[in-house]
Every structure is written in structure tokens, then in C-alpha cells.
Amino acid sequence: MTMCARAEDQFVMLQDRLQYRFADPDLLRQALVHRSWLNEAAGAGQVSNERLEFIGDAILGSVVARRLFQDFPEADEGWLTVARSRLVRKETLAAVARAVEIGPCLLMGAGIANEGARERDSVLSRSLEAVFGAIWMDGGDEAAETVILALLADELADIAAAGLVKDAKSRLQQLVQSQRGSQPTYAIIGECGPQHERSFRAAVEVDGNALAEGVGHSKQAAEMEAARLALQRFAEEST
């Protein structure tokens, strides 16, 4: 098998790991071109992945900010900023890039490659951003959002599980305990939509009495929305 053939196989397998098939595979190739490669590449017209990295960074930030805003309706600006930083930081992106094995696919100069550049967090994180930019160029907003959220799913779940927000669920629990001596309970009563854009409906009740229902892109977000609406109901009934 020739080197060219091996490179083609790598590009195909990388698309499988990304779960995205490029209509224009040249965009993926460009996303994998480290600037050191330009000194060794034959032929004119070669460009590095830096422009794609620029747009990929912007797309990533937008997708993450929107998802956090939707999933954590009770979070304030400070918490949202910290959570976003955790998701888009160099270390997080490098770990994702290693998981999908971007490093071996990078086109880079032999010298810097021999120095271990394929495993550097800075190189991997920037290359992943370039891949996001390439997907956006190839398939638009929806394609980029689908891939980004799928690759960051574990990190998003960790943030949700950490319970870092003093959210409506906590406030509702305190209110119900103080007023009724009970605790609210939640149930997911419906879900719909494609896998990458799932929507959940949650219901909250106290002592068997329904208080409110909420919808969100995760089960936790749906429960928080239900709690928020229940708090709103309590406030309206007390006026």
C-alpha cells in the first residue's frame, strides 16, 4: 500500500470516528495541515489549518454557550462563563482529539513531528478546532453542532452531574419542605427529536399533586424548567 493510500485510509477512518462524512474531503485535509508541513509539501497552493482553526474556535464557543444557556436556565453569567471555559479549554479539546485519533492524521514537518508535536495539547486542540471549522464549512451550523455536542457529551454530562448551580430544583425543595414538610418528585414523561437534538419533558409533583411540566435538551434541564415553573406558580398563588 502506498503512502498516499494509507493517508486516504486515515482520512476515511477519521470521518468514521467523527461520525461525519465530508462532501468535500479537501476541507478535512486542510484542517489537518500543520504550518510546519508547508516547508516540505510539494506543489503550490498548500495552506495551513490556521484559518479553519479561527472559524472553528468561534463555532465551538457559540455551540457550547448556547447549550449551556439552554440546559442551565438558573445559572448566572459567572457560572456559565466558568462552565464554558472548562468545555473549550486546551486540555479538554486535546483529550477529545486523542479520543478520535487526530494526531496520527496530522500533516506536519518531520522535524517537529519527531519532537512529539502530534501529542502536544496545543497542537491537538487547535487541530480539533480546525476540524470543527471544516465541518461547518462543509455542512453548516447543524452539522457542526451535532459533531461538537457528540464529542463533548461526556464533559457536558459531568458538568450537569456536578450540580454546580444553585438551581430552581434546590430552591423548590427548600420551599416545599418548609411549607408542606414534603419533597418534590420528578418524572420524565416524554422525549422526542433526533438523537443529537433530543428534547425531554419532565413533570414535578408534591404528594401526588402535579405542580408543573418543563421541557429541555437534557433530563436535568427539563426538570429544572419544571421546577422553575413550579416556583413561579407558588409565587403567583402567594400574591
Active site residue 129: yes
The residue annotated as part of the active site, out of 53, 57, 138, 167, is 57
Distances (CA, A) of 137 to 3, 12, 47, 62, 128: 27, 18, 16, 15, 14
The residue annotated as part of the active site, out of 53, 71, 129, 223, is 129
Residues marked active site are found at: 57, 129
